Chains A and B, each alone.
Chain A
Amino acid sequence: MRIVGLILVLLAVWLLLSGIYTPLIIGFGIASCILVALIVRRMDVLDHEGLPIQLGLGIIPYWGWLFIEIFKANIDVAKCILFPKKYLQPSLFSCKITQKSDLGKVIYANSITLTPGTVTVDLHEDTVLVHALTKLAADGVKSGDMDQRVTDVMGEA
């Protein structure tokens, strides 16, 4: 099941990157995709983390939401850099996370880091250590909104 998904993803990426659509070249493309899939299968590295198709399409609205958050956070950080006296309030705090799987934790920790103004300094068991640039950014993480959304995407109650 997952190997079919891998072949389809590889083919889609190959077709989008190649741009030369003659039978010979497409044939080479299909052959190399299948070869890669066979090697990956033999290496046994294809698991729920390597190709997380179990997340389904639910991740796409999350990315949209995350992008809007990134946009807002960028404005916040830009303001903080331009007027550090008014906004700069760095803080280091730890937060409980509700994801069970490693993949969910990594998605959450990376989402925190990707949002400017908050950086994951440490991820251990079920706590993240977060460094935040402003009070607004710190409150955003503490509110647990992003944590809840990642847990929903992962399908872990």
Chain B
Amino acid sequence: MDLLLDIGTWILLLAACIFLLITGLGMLRLPDLYTRIHAGGMADTLATFLVCLGLALQSGLTLTTIKLLFIVAFVFFTSPTSTYALAQASFVAGLKPKLDGFNKTAQNKEEDDGKVPD
């Protein structure tokens, strides 16, 4: 049983590590600030959850597990707020997103016209 839990923890932590690695890769690779925010979103959500779930398997049904759940809940409530603050601030400051290669439809064309240079 202990071995099974250890294996579960390993799998979850490794999965979280992979997501964090991809997040880091995305930070370097994606073209502009707005797309990089999306990469950061992965570390905020699934990676945090997988790390805490993996650790919760180790602590079992104790108060520590509940504290880990609290951490996940607080991160899930606060991270969109900070992400919004970042995106909103860049948008208000006039940073324009790169929309290369997007198939423009009628709905977002008018949106794009005023804001995207090309």
Interface residues of A (CB under 8 A from B): 13, 16-17, 19, 70-71, 74, 77-78, 80-82, 84, 88-94, 109-111, 113-123, 129, 131, 133, 135, 142
A113 and B78 alpha carbons, distance in the complex (Å): 11
Least Cβ distance of B95 to chain A in Å? 10
A110 and B78 alpha carbons, distance in the complex (Å): 9
B80 within 8 A of A: yes
CB contacts (< 8 Å) of B76 on chain A: these are 114
Interface residues of B (CB under 8 A from A): 19, 22-23, 25-26, 29-32, 34-35, 37-39, 41-42, 44-46, 63, 66-67, 70, 76-77, 79-81, 83-84, 87-88, 91, 97-103, 107-108, 111-112, 115-116
A86 and B21 alpha carbons, distance in the complex (Å): 20
B112 touches A133 (CB 8 A): no
B38 touches A78 (CB 8 A): no
B19 touches A122 (CB 8 A): no
B88 touches A17 (CB 8 A): no
B41 touches A81 (CB 8 A): no
Least Cβ distance of B112 to chain A in Å? 7
Contacts A114-B79, A119-B87, A131-B34 given; does A91 touch B102 at CB 8 Å: yes
A93 touches B41 (CB 8 A): no
A118 and B41 alpha carbons, distance in the complex (Å): 9
CB contacts (< 8 Å) of B115 on chain A: these are 92
A135 and B102 alpha carbons, distance in the complex (Å): 8
A91 and B32 alpha carbons, distance in the complex (Å): 12
A83 and B34 alpha carbons, distance in the complex (Å): 18
| Residue from the list A71, A92, A111, A122 in contact with B88, Cβ < 8 A | A122
